[in-house]
Amino acid sequence: MNAEHRPDLAVSKVAAAIGEPARARMLYCLLDGHARTSTELGIVAEVSPSTASAHLARLKEERLVSVVAQGKHRYYRLDGENVSAALEALMVVAGRSTEIFVPTTPSGLRFARACYDHIAGSFGVSLHDRLNELKWLVSGSDGTGYDLSPAGAQGLAPLGIDAAALRSLRRRFAYACIDWSERRPHIGGALGAALLTCALQRNWLVKDLDSRALRVTRAGQREFHIRFGLRA
Amino acid sequence: MNAEHRPDLAVSKVAAAIGEPARARMLYCLLDGHARTSTELGIVAEVSPSTASAHLARLKEERLVSVVAQGKHRYYRLDGENVSAALEALMVVAGRSTEIFVPTTPSGLRFARACYDHIAGSFGVSLHDRLNELKWLVSGSDGTGYDLSPAGAQGLAPLGIDAAALRSLRRRFAYACIDWSERRPHIGGALGAALLTCALQRNWLVKDLDSRALRVTRAGQREFHIRFGLRA
DNA sequence: TTCATACTTTGACGCTTAACGAATTATGCA
DNA sequence: TGCATAATTCGTTAAGCGTCAAAGTATGAA
């Protein structure tokens, strides 16, 4: 009837939402503050994509998670500090200290991974920062995007990245793509795609099978260091 | 088996235990710190005695309640402050979405109420703030808790509150207990309990029947003002 | 001892809900 | 435009769980 007037009832619905193993796995995976997609959380919870979707819908309904759509990905994260506080309080009751918990995201997926078609993860963020430091990347005319400085165009030319050609594409040249695991920007758009393509072609990065994780090869470590002053 | 290595699993069982309306009603009824029998809790939860017994068995298994047998009565109570903390944290999560809930709270319950065994509500928060202002309450050695300064010990001695005696208890001396309705700290621990006991004994505060609400008496208004400079 | 009370356990019933695959929608890429 | 991927919705199945009445256990009183 009017559940709003029954605090205990309202709480029981929230607790029931947490009190299902698959959903609990999702929530405690998100406790590290990173946002993850439905499929990622499905893998963590060891359920099928459809089941994961149903669980996330319920968690969203109970306002335990919030969702941000970025392109065709939907990123789920805990909805506020209150939720983490409640999850931690429950952990105390369950008799497990908070330190036992280790975030279950595969480390490879956090270090470097493909976001659509460009390089994300902490490595992608480092690359973004470094190109800014070098002033190869400058603010674009529209304010939100990026542009390549003359020095940048010159620096990337040896890699077969033709700034003029990229600019002629209908696609957006370059922009700050927010990384939901690092919460910091990396390079998206045509330039970002060209960087990833180039790195893959030259075997500086290799894709892990059946996953978005990227691995930096030995050659990649050397080349990224020489050409960008970037050290992994 | 290997539940120790799965914090999420352990938590989901606890949350599931809370996430059943009848059990939630029992738990939130026990939040006032009183112990109750199985039949009483069955009436509160609106289930038959046999069902109540089954629910309580489960709550006991998850260590959410503890039971003491006295003659043929068995008294159930919340198993520690961790449990009340978790229940209140869940209340915050559940209450945030339904803003209706807060106004629905009896105003007496928001102004002053008992949190487990100490004074919460806006009055409890005021008292906490005032004792800090007076520098009677100082940060404890462990960083999270509070300690009583010499001035504080001297100020509370006339009320029959013996700081040394409280310190000798196994219980935590004093700490900032977060209040779900105010979302600000009030005084928990042995000192908080002593303050409530003292105020009740001297009739500065009276308990409303069958509820956690506290009412400040006329004498209480005068005394809190005189002794702490606190005005209601 | 016998009875009465307080509570728990047992067993059967019915409802809720998690699980999956298949089909559908939405977005991005060529 | 058509193809591929991400994610959701739908329909069905199966398991789990809450529910109660009745039988069982324990405590206290006559």
Which two three-digit tokens encode residue A44?
Answer: 């963590």
Among all residues of chain A, which has the CA nearest to that of B4?
A96
CB contact under 8 A, A92 and B104: no
- Chain B: closest CA distance from residue A8 (Å): 6
Residue of least CA–C1' distance to C25 = A72
Facing residue for A11 by CB, picked from B12, B82, B91: B91
3-class state of residue B37 by DSSP:
strand
- β-strand B73-78 against B36-37: which pairing, if any? antiparallel
What sign results for the dihedral spanned by CA atoms B218, B32, B99, A88?
positive
Å from the A135 CA to the C15 C1'? 65
CB contact under 8 A, A18 and B17: no
List of domains in chain B:
3-82 (1.10.10.10), 105-228 (no CATH)
Q: What confidence score (pLDDT) does residue B99 get?
A: 36
Q: What confidence score (pLDDT) does residue B106 get?
A: 45
DSSP string, B12-24: HHHHHHHSSHHHH
Give the containing element (helix H, strand E) for B50.
Answer: helix B49-61
Protein contacts of strand C with Cβ less than 7 Å away: A 16, 20-22, 47-48, 50-51, 54-55, 58, 71-72, 116-117, 171; B 37-39, 49-50, 52-54, 56-57, 67, 72-74
Q: Are A202 and A223 in contact (CB under 8 A)?
A: yes
- Chain A: closest CA distance from residue B113 (Å): 16
Q: What confidence score (pLDDT) does residue A82 get?
A: 85
Q: What confidence score (pLDDT) does residue A105 get?
A: 47
B49 versus A221: the higher-pLDDT residue is: B49
Among all residues of chain B, which has the CA nearest to that of A14?
B94
Protein CB footprint (7 Å) on chain D nucleotides: 5-11, 17-23, 26-28
Q: Specify the range with the lowest mean pLDDT, choosing from B15-29, B130-144, B208-222.
A: B208-222
Q: For residues B115 and B137, what is the distance between their CA atoms, to the nearest angstrom?
A: 19
Q: For residues B11 and A90, what is the distance between their CA atoms, to the nearest angstrom?
A: 6
Task: Give the bridge partners for A176, in sequence order.
Answer: A187
Nucleotide with C1' nearest the A40 CA = D6
Strand D and B212 CB separated by under 7 Å? no
Å from the A51 CA to the D13 C1'? 14
Report the residue of B23, B30, B46, B90 to disrupt the A interface, i.e. the one with the largest count of A CBs within 10 Å.
Answer: B90
Q: What confidence score (pLDDT) does residue A173 get?
A: 79
CB contact under 8 A, B90 and A13: no
For chain A, residues with pLDDT lower than 50 are 1-5, 97-107, 180, 209-210
pLDDT tens, B92-116? 888 743 333 333 344 444 566 666 6
Q: What confidence score (pLDDT) does residue B47 get?
A: 92
pLDDT band for B186, please (50, 70, 90 cuts): confident
Q: For residues A95 and A132, what is the distance between their CA atoms, to the nearest angstrom?
A: 47
Q: For residues B4 and A151, what is the distance between their CA atoms, to the nearest angstrom?
A: 56
First to last CA, chain B: 54
HSE, side-chain direction, 13 A CA sphere, residue A229: 10
A interface with B, Cβ–Cβ below 8 Å: 3-5, 7-21, 23-25, 27-29, 62-64, 80, 82-83, 85-87, 89-96, 100-101
Å from the B61 CA to the D23 C1'? 24
> What burial letters (b/e) apply to A136-146, b meaning 16+ CB within 10 Å?
bbeebeeeebb
What sign results for the dihedral spanned by CA atoms B154, B158, B159, B164?
positive
Task: Give the bridge partners for B136, in sequence order.
Answer: none
Q: For residues B197 and B212, what is the distance between their CA atoms, to the nearest angstrom?
A: 14
Nucleotide with C1' nearest the A42 CA = D7
Q: What confidence score (pLDDT) does residue B54 get?
A: 93
Which two three-digit tokens encode residue A26?
Answer: 């999702």
How many CB pairs (< 8 A) connect A and B?
Answer: 143
Q: What confidence score (pLDDT) does residue A210 get?
A: 40
Is the pLDDT score of B204 beyond 80? yes
Q: What confidence score (pLDDT) does residue A2 get?
A: 40
Q: For residues A103 and A94, what is the distance between their CA atoms, to the nearest angstrom?
A: 18
CB contact under 8 A, A11 and B20: no
Q: Are A169 and A190 in contact (CB under 8 A)?
A: yes
Rounded (10°) CA dihedral A152, A157, A162, A163: 10
DSSP string, chain A: --GGG-HHHHHHHHHHHHSSHHHHHHHHHHTTS--EEHHHHHHHHT--HHHHHHHHHHHHHTTSEEEEEETTEEEEEE-SHHHHHHHHHHHHHTT--GGG----S-HHHHHSEEETTEEEHHHHHHHHHHHHHTT-EEE-TTSSBEEE-HHHHHHHGGGT--HHHHHHSSS---EEEEPTTT-SEEEEHHHHHHHHHHHHHTTSEEEPTTSSBEEE-HHHHHHHHHHH----
Long-range residue pairs from B109-114, CB within 8 A, at least 24 positions apart, any chain = B109/B181, B109/B211, B109/B212, B109/B213, B110/B181, B110/B182, B111/B216, B112/B205, B112/B213, B112/B214, B112/B215, B112/B216, B113/B212, B113/B213, B113/B214, B114/B32, B114/B33, B114/B196, B114/B207, B114/B212, B114/B214
R_g of chain A, CA atoms, integer Å: 21
Smallest CA-to-CA distance from A26 within A2, A57, A4 is with: A57
- β-strand A214-216 against B65-70: which pairing, if any? unpaired
Q: What confidence score (pLDDT) does residue B53 get?
A: 93
Strand D and A33 CB separated by under 7 Å? no
